[in-house]
């Protein structure tokens, strides 16, 4: 630490003709800058990010890259094995090209992984900030109410809400968001309560800052980091749960291509062509492991600085 600090100061004057460098202030990369620099040097994080980028690109560019039409069925080409001519990964139970459907399937599956977490991030942070900042009885009331949702195992809660609302894409997104909101609120509330008690927040209030500007400047800056880390860990949970709901028939409806639903419909074919049935699940696994590995790297990069 000491060496790192004294390095630029002692080294700079020794260089002839480098005098202007000393007068210009050294630009600090800032908190997020150092986190970014940390991540860039982490080969595992880069690999995970590359895998995710590849999956996202394949899903986004599916209409241009995919070899076939995702809905075009063919009675004579049902359940072709992997490596068939014209169908690299074979065909599904209705004779549709599997590679195409896996690429298109990424659209809904990735969307269902990201949207509930993003929505829970926004709503959960708002509620948590409010509860933590207001404090007192209101905080008690909000947090004790949310404790009830903690008494539900998350898969059960998601299945129960999706089951009660009925199958469909928007209902399963809503169910997952409702599962994640209480968890995000809990993180946001505990950090807000901690920050609120700090002296500099007290000083800001004394100097006449409004509640809004205190939250925006002082609280939000401290709260966003931990929530971001927490939410990044939820991405893979959301993917697995969302595809799980589709697998149970509670999510996306056929004939939409979606990995969980494909796993469900191909399951009836495991005695005829077993390994094809495993492909959509392998996609979920790869995506979720990439999400988790990246989230772990982000977490350790951020903790190094805090």
Q: Which of 223, 291, 297, 302 binds another protein (CB under 8 A)?
A: 291
CA angle 11, 17, 22 (to 5 degrees): 50
Closest distance of CB 20 from another protein, Å: 46
Structural tokens at position 122: 């926004």
Complex with another protein: residue 104 or 247, whichever CB lies closer: 247
Q: Does 140 bind another protein (CB under 8 A)?
A: no
Nearest to 92 by CA among 262, 248, 250: 262
Question: CA-CA distance, 38 to 138, in Å (whole number)?
Answer: 40
Closest distance of CB 282 from another protein, Å: 7
Instruction: Count interface residues toward another protein (CB under 8 A).
Output: 45
Q: Does 155 bind another protein (CB under 8 A)?
A: yes
Closest distance of CB 253 from another protein, Å: 13
Buried b (16+ CB within 10 A) or exposed e, 215-244: beebbbebbebbbbbbbbbbbbbbbbbbbb
CA angle 251, 282, 96 (to 5 degrees): 70
Complex with another protein: residue 100 or 109, whichever CB lies closer: 109
Closest distance of CB 208 from another protein, Å: 38
Complex with another protein: residue 12 or 156, whichever CB lies closer: 156
Q: Does 159 bind another protein (CB under 8 A)?
A: yes
What secondary structure, in 3-state letters, does 81-110 show?
A: CCCECCECCCECCCCCEHHHHHHHHHHHHH
Q: Which of 131, 277, 301, 302 binds another protein (CB under 8 A)?
A: 277
Per CB under 8 A, contacts with another protein among 243-262 are 243-244, 247-250
Question: CA-CA distance, 210 to 206, in Å (whole number)?
Answer: 10
Nearest to 243 by CA among 287, 184, 273, 274: 287
Q: Does 114 bind another protein (CB under 8 A)?
A: no
Complex with another protein: residue 201 or 245, whichever CB lies closer: 245
Question: CA-CA distance, 285 to 49, in Å (whole number)?
Answer: 15
Q: Which stretch binds another protein (CB under 8 A): 78-86, 124-132, 139-147, 208-216?
A: 139-147
Q: Does 234 bind another protein (CB under 8 A)?
A: no
CB-based contact 121:177 (threshold 8 Å): no
Q: Does 148 bind another protein (CB under 8 A)?
A: yes
Q: Does 168 bind another protein (CB under 8 A)?
A: no
Q: Which residues contact 36 (CB under 8 A, 6 or more apart)?
A: 29
Q: Does 145 bind another protein (CB under 8 A)?
A: yes
CA angle 160, 122, 171 (to 5 degrees): 30
Complex with another protein: residue 130 or 285, whichever CB lies closer: 285
Phi then psi for residue 99, to 5 deg, are -60, -45
Q: Which of 79, 130, 134, 163 binds another protein (CB under 8 A)?
A: 163
Question: CA-CA distance, 23 to 97, in Å (whole number)?
Answer: 65
CB-based contact 263:101 (threshold 8 Å): no
Q: Does 293 bind another protein (CB under 8 A)?
A: yes
Closest distance of CB 285 from another protein, Å: 6
Positions in the binding site for another protein (CB under 8 A): 144-145, 147-149, 151-157, 159-161, 163-166, 236, 240, 243-244, 247-250, 263, 267, 270-271, 274-275, 277-278, 281-282, 284-285, 288-289, 291-293, 296
């Amino acid at each position: 630490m000491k060496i790192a600090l004294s390095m630029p100061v002692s080294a700079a004057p020794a260089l002839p003709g480098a005098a202007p460098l000393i007068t210009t202030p050294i630009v600090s990369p800032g908190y997020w800058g150092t986190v970014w620099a940390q991540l860039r040097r982490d080969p595992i994080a880069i690999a995970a990010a590359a895998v995710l980028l590849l999956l996202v690109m394949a899903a986004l560019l599916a209409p241009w890259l995919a070899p076939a039409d995702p809905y075009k069925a063919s009675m004579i080409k049902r359940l072709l094995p992997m490596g068939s001519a014209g169908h690299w990964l074979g065909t599904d139970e209705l004779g549709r090209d599997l590679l195409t459907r896996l690429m298109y399937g990424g659209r809904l599956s990735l969307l269902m992984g990201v949207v509930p977490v993003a929505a829970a991030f926004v709503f959960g942070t708002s509620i948590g900030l409010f509860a933590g900042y207001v404090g007192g009885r209101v905080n008690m009331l909000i947090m004790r109410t949310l404790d009830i949702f903690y008494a539900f195992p998350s898969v059960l809660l998601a299945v129960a809400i999706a089951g009660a609302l009925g199958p469909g894409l928007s209902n399963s997104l809503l169910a997952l968001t409702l599962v994640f909101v209480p968890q995000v609120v809990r993180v946001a509330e505990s950090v807000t309560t901690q920050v609120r008690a700090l002296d500099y927040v007290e000083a800001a209030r004394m100097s006449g800052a409004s509640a809004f500007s205190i939250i925006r400047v002082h609280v939000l800056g401290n709260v966003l980091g931990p929530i971001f880390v927490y939410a990044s860990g939820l991405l893979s949970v959301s993917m697995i749960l969302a595809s799980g709901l589709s697998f149970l028939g509670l999510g996306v409806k056929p004939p939409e291509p979606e990995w969980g639903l494909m796993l469900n419909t191909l399951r009836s074919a495991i005695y005829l062509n077993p390994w094809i049935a495993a492909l959509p699940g392998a996609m979920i696994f790869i995506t979720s492991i990439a999400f988790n590995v990246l989230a772990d790297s982000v977490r350790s990069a951020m903790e190094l600085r805090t």
